[in-house]
Structure 1
Amino acid sequence: MSVTLRIAGTGDADRHVQMIETAREEAGAPFDAETLRPALLPLLDGTMPFGTVYLVGPPRSPVGFILLGFGYELAAGGITARIEEIYIRAAVRGRGMGGEAISALMRGLDGHGVVELRVMTQGAGTPIGRICTRLRFVEASRPYLSRAI
């Protein structure tokens, strides 16, 4: 199986918001379209250079998405990328698409100055943790404190 990724654009906004809503419902997480849409649109129209959205699967009917954020860290050696969210529709899960999507993402980031890809997991036993273990991610201990500005 070969998973395709494509960068989402403004024409994908409604579809992507719908997938995010489904992902959040499945996770039992809050969803607020009025807050989400204004934060999402700059990523989709390319005016926000600190992140991007990739759609997973066929262009006309994607089966998931990866929301990627970028940063810069001297200790890491340059540009870092974080998978902020990854979602594969329930109907097609378990077929290896998540791992293939992350592998395709790593190949796509290679050569663009990104030195590290990070994924937040809730442990190695979670689905994303198992995928990352198979892809040879290692546990990193980087405690952060944060505050909204």
Structure 2
Amino acid sequence: MAICLQPAQRQYLDELLFFVRAYHKCEGVQICDEVRRDAVISLLGNSAFGRIFLIRLDAELIGYVAISFGFSIEFGGRDAFIDEIFISAEYRGSGYGREALALMKAELARHDIKAIHLEVARTNKRAQQLYRSLGFSEREKYFLMSTEIFGVKG
């Protein structure tokens, strides 16, 4: 059984939204369905913003990863942020997330991405260990801060 990343297209919107809703429920993300749908469609429709990849195990869809693009002077060029990664519960703990992230890292390297960033819950030690094993490290001097602009959120 092999993992592959398939670039998501509009024709897979319903399946993708099923997984995005499941991820948001799992993480406690509060967003209305219309805003979620519009955001996914925007990302699917403009590869300058980023990409969404479906994670498949052979032919079966088991999750997704959403990447957004940016630019970093510090890292010397284009960078990427893993906005969301989700593997269905029944497939977790089998190495599929690790394999998907390794494939994603290789895919981004082919597109001259200089650095990849992600967020992980402080309490999610298992995910932290996985990310460290793939070369990610905490930035001891920094932590992520966010603000909504004009109160826009679902």
Cα distance change of structure 1 residues 146 and 121 upon mapping to structure 2, 3 Å threshold: closer
- Look up the match of 2:33: 33
- Look up the match of 1:18: 18
- Look up the match of 1:78: 77
Cα distance change of structure 1 residues 30 and 86 upon mapping to structure 2, 3 Å threshold: same
CA RMSD, aligned part only?
2.0
Q: CA deviation at 1:23?
A: 1.4
Which structure 2 residue ranges, 5 or more long, are not aligned? none
Moved more, 21-30 or 6-15: 21-30
Instruction: Write out per-residue CA displacement over residues 52-105 of structure 1, whole angstroms, 9 at most, x where no aligned residue.
Output: 101101475310010101100111110111101110000111101111110000
Q: Is the 8 A contact 1:21 1:31 kept in 2?
A: no
- Look up the match of 1:90: 89
- Mapped to 1, the partners of 2:58 and 2:38 lie a distance apart of 23
- Look up the match of 1:2: 2
- Mapped to 1, the partners of 2:79 and 2:2 lie a distance apart of 25
- Look up the match of 1:114: 113
Moved more, 139-148 or 69-78: 139-148
Moved more, 50-59 or 74-83: 50-59
Q: TM-score, normalised by structure 1?
A: 0.88
Structure 1 SS opposite 2:131: helix
* Bigger relative contact order (CA 8 A; separation at least 6): 2
Cα distance change of structure 1 residues 125 and 23 upon mapping to structure 2, 3 Å threshold: closer
- Look up the match of 2:43: 43
Q: CA deviation at 1:144?
A: 5.1
Which structure 1 residue ranges, 5 or more long, are not aligned? none
Q: How many residues align?
A: 148
Q: CA deviation at 1:125?
A: 4.9
Q: Report the residue type matching 2:32 in the other structure.
A: D
Q: CA deviation at 1:16?
A: 0.8
Q: Report the residue type matching 1:105 in the other structure.
A: M
Query: Percent of pairs identical after alignment?
Result: 24
